[in-house]
Chains A and B, each alone.
Chain A
Amino acid sequence: MTAVADAREERAPSRDRGERAVRRARWARGVRLVVLTVFVVVFLTPVYVLLVTSFKPLTEADPSRAWALPEIWTFQPWRVAWEKLAPGIWNSVLLAVPGSLISAALGSMNGYVLSKWRFPGADVVFTLFLFGMFIPYQGVMIPLVQLLSGLNELTGLDGVFYGGIPGLVLAHVVYGIPICTLIFRNYYVTIPGEVIEAARVDGAGMLRTYRSVVLPVSGPAFAVVIIWQFTALWNDFLFAVFLTGPRSWPTTVMLNNIAGAQTVPYSQQMAAALLASIPTMVVYVLLGRFFMRGLMAGALKG
């Protein structure tokens, strides 16, 4: 009898505590949501500015209307920006599409060998590759410029290696080898060794095994690498500014020239910045999942 009473007495305050905990949890959730929403606004503020400014006619360029919506919406800045930026965008396409495809092909082969067809010293090679991922490219830039201009002279092809798109593609492919190899290697490690072994026992050589066993399941890794490299190549400024000339300037360099000129109105600069960002934004929105995976691979999860 007394035991039951005790239990009842004990349960009452604990239920009270339970309710308090529930209320506190609801409060905490509310606070979290509010703080996160504030940050959403902060993160999107630059986008608001870009969009709003890019549709403003010159008559509304006054600082007092800086944050206001345009009274008259105009496509004029976009049209001018497109005219100025179009050659650069075309150069960027010629750079980023072949560059990312070649990178993916190389990365896939390297990753396959370094995970499934290993040779003595493969670990050392992989480690030496990885350091290549972190080097500041400034450290190779001057010799690279000298080498590429040497190649121009050697081949007699002026403005191909140094000052041209092919040279820039070459640089991006070479310095992209480490990250692409890493992503593919980490992906292929998950293929069970028995599958490879079975193909081997059946007499399939390295390339046969690659083609018939590994390649058919490589889709996601290819998506990750191609997206990663496409974004990196499209957004690159450092290599471009050192290695290209006026005829081969990609989007970023042209955008920087447009934005750096004091005479270009803000509306045109911002329209140009948006234009330059459309391809990678489209990729991000449609294939964000793969983009994320590339980012995580970049963190060297091992």
Chain B
Amino acid sequence: MTRMRRWLPGLLLVAPSIAAIAVFVYGMLGWNFRLAMTDQHDEVSEGKFVGLENFTGIWDQPRWSISVNHAIVFTVVFVGGALLLGWLLAFLMEKGLRGEGTFRAIYLFPMAISFVATGVVWRWLMNSGTGERAVGLNRLFDVVGLEFLQWRWFRDQDWGMAAMAIPAIWQMSGYVMALFLAGFRGVPEELREAARVDGCTEWKVYRHIVLPMLRPVTLSALIILGHISLKAFDLIVAVSGKQIITDVPAVFMWVAVFDSHDPAKGATIAAYIVIAVSVFVIPYLVWSLRKERRS
């Protein structure tokens, strides 16, 4: 009883938040899955339970397969690109240099701006016009004599989504740099020194001491970039709107809800996005909490 008097006030203080998370996160995720299993394909119908019919049926729609393919290309290019560039920047800055703060601030500032605002300028930069009508980067290529680099950017049939990943890389690689820089700096200098005394070359020190210690940071970065990528929406809408040429599940869902007025279809797409994110976020959360408890 006295013990309970000790912790009860705490529980009461957090209770509103617990209730809010229970309803708005878990309740609504459940509600969404429930809706995805009905035939409520317009806003007035009753919504009969149809099981997994929507989940299997959606694969027959060409637009869905296209958007899934796009999401995969976008994710691979974006996650790979941001990880590599962020790592490179951190690697180059790791040993310290004059004006480091300024460099860091410049690489990181895109994080503070909305994708919608940066979408405006990237749509201009990646304008698909070539030759006389070229603006943006195509015009720049023309000016410096690299015309052969001109292409249709995000309007390219096959690799448009790779172009779409460029602004995302620009926006997020500073963040990855900051993560890696913290990782690099977390490697104790004595450890490196000890390896050097033992006759290791710089490369070997990096390969066998630093790199293994960067693994947790790399995993964090991978998870963060991955889940941002799978729900990518703002940037794509800002750069190209709802065109099929750059469709991804998140945009398709928006179209399903507001243009097709099909709640069940929207809920199905949303459920797929949730599943895709959960598959790697849940193991990650379990892993990092276990690690925290151990230390």
User: Taking beta carbons and an 8 Å cutoff, which residues of A are in contact with B?
Assistant: 29, 32-33, 35-36, 39-40, 43-46, 49-50, 53, 63-64, 66-67, 106, 109-110, 112-114, 117-120, 122-123, 125, 127-132, 134-145, 147, 171, 174-175, 177-178, 181, 205-207, 231, 234-238, 241-242, 252, 255-256, 259-260, 266, 269-270, 272-274, 276-277, 280-281, 283-285, 288, 291-292, 295-296, 298-302
Contact = CB atoms under 8 A, between A and B. Distances in A.
Given A136-B227, A140-B25, A237-B237, A43 B170 contact: yes
Contacts of B289: 123, 127, 130, 302
20 contacts: A29-B97, A32-B93, A46-B125, A64-B139, A114-B14, A118-B10, A119-B11, A123-B289, A131-B25, A134-B285, A138-B269, A142-B263, A142-B267, A255-B114, A259-B238, A276-B116, A283-B112, A292-B108, A295-B175, A302-B288
B134 interface: yes
B106 A118 contact: no
Interface string B196-224: 00000000000000000000000011001
B195 interface: no
Interface stretch (B52-60, B62-70, B273-281): B273-281
A302 B269 contact: no
Given A32-B97, A36-B93, A281-B109, A142 B277 contact: no
A215 B32 CA distance: 39
A22 to B, nearest CB: 14
Given A39-B107, A119-B10, A256-B116, A138 B231 contact: yes
A241 B233 CA distance: 11
B224 A299 contact: yes
A176 to B, nearest CB: 10
A234 B175 CA distance: 19
Given A49-B125, A295-B175, A110 B17 contact: yes
Given A142-B35, A144-B24, A302-B292, A63 B135 contact: yes
A140 B282 contact: no
A295 B270 contact: no
A5 to B, nearest CB: 26
B24 A125 contact: no
Contacts of A53: 124
B7 A118 contact: yes
B208 to A, nearest CB: 20
B14 A109 contact: yes
The residue among A138, A272, A283, A295 with the most chain B CB atoms within 10 A of its own CB is: A138
Nearest to A206: B9
Contact of B285 (A127, A252, A273, A284): A127
B118 interface: yes
The 3 A-B pairs at the shortest CB distance, nearest first, are namely A235-B114, A117-B10, A139-B274
Interface in B1-41: 7-11, 13-14, 16-18, 20-21, 24-29, 31-32, 35
A53 B139 CA distance: 15
Contacts of B168: none
Contacts of A39: 89, 107
A94 B112 CA distance: 19
A234 B114 contact: yes
Given A46-B170, A63-B132, A259 B139 contact: no
Interface string B88-114: 010011010100000101111111111
B80 interface: no
Contacts of A178: 21
Contacts of A32: 92-93, 95, 97
B282 to A, nearest CB: 7
Contacts of A43: 106-107, 109-110, 170, 174
A178 B103 CA distance: 31
Given A67-B140, A259-B238, A143 B28 contact: yes
A158 to B, nearest CB: 18
Contact of A235 (B29, B115, B291): B115
A129 B21 contact: yes
B10 A139 contact: no
A281 B114 CA distance: 10
Contacts of A175: 24-25
A145 B261 CA distance: 13
B292 A291 contact: no
Interface string B106-145: 1111111111111111111100010011111001100100
B238 A135 contact: no
B254 interface: yes
A130 B285 contact: yes
A44 B292 CA distance: 39
A138 B105 contact: no
